[in-house]
Structure 1
Amino acid sequence: MQGNVFIVGMGLIGGSLALSIKSRHPHAAIIGYDINNEQLQLAKTLGVIDEQAASFRDAAEKADVIILACPVKETEKMINQLCQLSLKKDVIVTDTGSTKAKIMKKAVLLKEKGITFIGGHPMAGSHKSGVAAAKTLLFENAFYLLTPFQGEEKAQIEKLKVWLAGTRAKILMISPEEHDQVTGVISHFPHIIAASLVHQVEHVEHTLPLVTRLAAGGFGDITRIASSSPQMWTEILLHNRETLLSLLEHWKKEMGRVRQLLIEKNEAEISAYFTKAKVFRDQIPIHKRGAIPSFYDLYVDVPDYPGVISEITGYLAEERISITNIKIIETREDIYGVLVISFQNENDQRRAIDCLNRNTDYETFLP
């Protein structure tokens, strides 16, 4: 397809969408805009976009597709601005926000002007941020949720799907309300729990100084998402406030139940509690991409001698296997000197296991 694609927000998501759209529609003009001029210039330098927007108004009014790849709070402001402009009659406006009900409520302003707005949420991310981390296939095999208004023209929905075909994502249609409930349970609420677990450690650090050292390994894994952007998650929680208040109320009851089982020393019920959780969790396809970005880590039990890290990374480099992060942890349940290597995807993780098993005697294991 040909046309002008205007992407507002040159971060990881906006940049990756630009690359994926260009890969499938090479004749389209990708126009970028960002309040951070440094990121915008970097996007142009890296070839992520074809041109920088002269102004928000200029780019929006000549666009065939407008993608608001910015924080949910900013998206609402952008919708207000778009309502004041002379947009093309058949333009499609979409967003990438993690909450949808409030965005769709705001987008009624566009609908009333005859402008197509289709809410969107690509459920993929990375441990890195910024346009420099953008990847053409960031969304490959991830779920991409669309929340059109009821009665939206099918032709417009199908046209947006064609524009997004380069993402290679699994596009699903869902109502804004169901979207916020689902993402509240499997994404937003877990971020609250992860942050609260970190606060628990912080509260006891002054009396148990070893706690931060021993919090490496498994604890670090289950609280990893607590390192996400505080500003972004503040906005998400306030946008999905009602859903999260309901979930927190249910969580209080759940923890009250566990507390009572401990008071009663009810061994059978405690065992049943963990058994039921294990059975349900084992049925979840954890190796598929979902609401929270997957972490593709590999643990390598390494000997303590100079050059061991460069030796391992050297073998991986020979196989052209990209590494996104690398660190050493001192303790992981009685295993010492563990090298933790992070990869972009499961395929690279599996290739790394094969590579190291062929070239070394070091034990490799998944977390």
Structure 2
Amino acid sequence: MTRNVLIIGLGLIGGSLALALQKAPKTKVVGYDLSGKTRNLAETLNIVHEVVEDVEEAAKNADFIIFGTPVNATLQWMDELKHWSLKQHVIITDTGSTKGLIMKKAEELREKGITFIGGHPMAGSHKSGITAAKPYLFENAYYILTPFDDEDGNNLIALEQLLKYTLAKLVKINAEEHDHMTAVVSHFPHIVAASLVHQLNEENKRFPMTSMLAAGGFRDITRIASSNPMIWRDITLQNREELIGQMDAWIDEMQRVKKILLENDDESVEEYFRKAKDVRDALPISTGAFYTTYDLYVDIPDYPGVISEITGYLADENISITNIRVVETREDIFGILVISFQNEKDREKAMKCIRSHTNFEMHVS
């Protein structure tokens, strides 16, 4: 019997899910997006087996309905869904990055006998939209499920049997734990990154050369401040209580650092950085939340055409890159070219490719 999957919202996440789930046997994936342009692209790019124009009609035949939409939009869809004609055992899930509001709204669906299991695939990309969708986007990433405590085990198994084709690591936690942990590792770091950029902007008014020196570590630590402001406006407001708690803890931590500096004790300062290094070095390399980059650092000499030479080698072997930048290139000094890849396999192929053509030194962080 064929499983019918309806995905509402065909951006990066929804589109990537659609591509991944097409690998599931006896599964038909249909998709809908509010944007007519996106629907046309979904059809042209074969993102789904079928694009639908009437989402409510398509929902009648769905065994699974997945919202690939931002949380605020998903909440609106869930309100509409309450009035749709659905299969008795349909399973609804979402992909939102906060779960508290979603699961509260899901209680209204539950009162009507509709099964809802919260979901959050913790992967992404610096690119957005349907054209950035990739079938392997979720591979080895954590995919969080937030079911109700007394959810029917058969429903969970059914959803897991579908989502296993994303090749993600499925983990079950409750919504409160999810929102707290994502505040720690994702939402609050975005606020910190944005605050550092604001601080730089103020300092730059007094010392105009400051921004010219803002490379290396500053650029790396504030990269996420370039994320979509509207998305992070919503996430911040949706998870505000957890974030306020993180801010209080951060202020306490900064007071502790200030105290160490006031004491002017070199051993305490060194121990502070040593402890941070030990904890940071022990973090998982490739299974962290959200966007994981697979960076290759190439020591290159500074001569005209060296970058196009390297990218040409990669293009000849059909190795796709997601980003490229120069950390430092000056006359007579080896610069560092940073090339980012979608996955570890592409990075390994790139290393072999470059090594076969050059004697440039390479390393990965």
TM bucket (normalised to shorter chain) is over 0.9
Unaligned runs of 5+ in 2: none
2:302 to 282, 294, 304: 304
Q: How far does the alpha carbon of each residue in 1:48-73 deviate from its partner, in whole angstroms, 9 at most, with x for none?
A: 01222222321222211110111111
Q: Which residue of 2 aligns with 1:10?
A: 10
Q: Which residue of 1 aligns with 2:287?
A: 289
Q: Residues 365 and 264 from structure 1, CA distance in 2 versus in 1: closer, same or farther, beyond 3 angstroms?
A: same
Which runs of structure 2 are paired with 1:316-331 in the superposition (5 Å)?
316-330=314-328
Q: Which residue of 2 aligns with 1:357?
A: 355
Q: How far does the alpha carbon of each residue in 1:184-220 deviate from its partner, in whole angstroms, 9 at most, with x for none?
A: 1111111111111121221222333332232223221
Q: Which residue of 1 aligns with 2:341?
A: 343
Q: Residues 358 and 208 from structure 1, CA distance in 2 versus in 1: closer, same or farther, beyond 3 angstroms?
A: farther
Give me the whole-angstrom Cα distance separating, in 2, the residues matched to 1:339 and 1:283. Answer: 26
Give me the whole-angstrom Cα distance separating, in 2, the residues matched to 1:274 and 1:337. Answer: 28
Give 3-state SS (helix, strand or coil) of 2:137's partner.
coil
Q: How far does the alpha carbon of each residue in 1:20-70 deviate from its partner, in whole angstroms, 9 at most, with x for none?
A: 111123x43322111222112111110001222222321222211110111
Give me the whole-angstrom Cα distance separating, in 2, the residues matched to 1:16 and 1:282. Answer: 31
Q: Which residue of 2 aligns with 1:64?
A: 63
Bigger mean CA offset, 142-151 vs 205-214: 205-214
Contact 1:214 1:331 in 2 (8 A): no
TM-score for both structures, normalised by structure 1: 0.94
Instruction: Return the offset for 1:331.
Output: 6.1
Which runs of structure 2 are paired with 1:88-107 in the superposition (5 Å)?
88-107=87-106
Give 3-state SS (helix, strand or coil) of 2:337's partner.
strand
Give 3-state SS (helix, strand or coil) of 2:22's partner.
helix
TM-score for both structures, normalised by structure 2: 0.94
Q: Residues 200 and 335 from structure 1, CA distance in 2 versus in 1: closer, same or farther, beyond 3 angstroms?
A: farther
Contact 1:31 1:51 in 2 (8 A): yes
Which runs of structure 2 are paired with 1:1-367 in the superposition (5 Å)?
2-25=2-25, 27-285=26-284, 287-330=285-328, 337-367=335-365
Unaligned runs of 5+ in 1: none
Q: Residues 99 and 295 from structure 1, CA distance in 2 versus in 1: closer, same or farther, beyond 3 angstroms?
A: same
Give me the whole-angstrom Cα distance separating, in 2, the residues matched to 1:118 and 1:189. Answer: 25
Give 3-state SS (helix, strand or coil) of 1:32's partner.
strand
Q: How far does the alpha carbon of each residue in 1:136-178 deviate from its partner, in whole angstroms, 9 at most, with x for none?
A: 1111111111111121111111111111121011111111111
Give me the whole-angstrom Cα distance separating, in 1, the residues matched to 2:115 and 2:212. Answer: 53
Contact 1:195 1:223 in 2 (8 A): yes
Give me the whole-angstrom Cα distance separating, in 2, the residues matched to 1:210 and 1:335. Answer: 23
Give 3-state SS (helix, strand or coil) of 2:135's partner.
coil
Paired AA for residue 348 in structure 1: D
Give 3-state SS (helix, strand or coil) of 1:206's partner.
helix
Q: Which runs of 4+ in 1 moved over 4 A?
A: none
Instruction: Return the offset for 1:98.
Output: 0.7
Cα RMSD (Å): 1.8
Give 3-state SS (helix, strand or coil) of 2:161's partner.
helix
Contact 2:31 2:48 in 1 (8 A): yes
Bigger mean CA offset, 202-211 vs 72-81: 202-211
Give me the whole-angstrom Cα distance separating, in 1, the residues matched to 2:154 and 2:333. Answer: 57
Instruction: Return the offset for 1:336.
Output: 5.4
Paired AA for residue 108 in structure 2: L
Instruction: Return the offset for 1:364.
Output: 2.3
Paired AA for residue 188 in structure 1: H
Q: Residues 331 and 305 from structure 1, CA distance in 2 versus in 1: closer, same or farther, beyond 3 angstroms?
A: closer
Q: Residues 66 and 190 from structure 1, CA distance in 2 versus in 1: closer, same or farther, beyond 3 angstroms?
A: same
Give me the whole-angstrom Cα distance separating, in 2, the residues matched to 1:20 and 1:295. Answer: 20
Q: Residues 284 and 328 from structure 1, CA distance in 2 versus in 1: closer, same or farther, beyond 3 angstroms?
A: closer
Instruction: Return the offset for 1:306.
Output: 2.7
Give me the whole-angstrom Cα distance separating, in 2, the residues matched to 1:265 and 1:336. Answer: 37
Contact 1:123 1:292 in 2 (8 A): yes
Instruction: Return the offset for 1:335.
Output: 6.0
Contact 1:301 1:335 in 2 (8 A): no
Give me the whole-angstrom Cα distance separating, in 1, the residues matched to 2:27 and 2:280. Answer: 43
Paired AA for residue 320 in structure 1: N
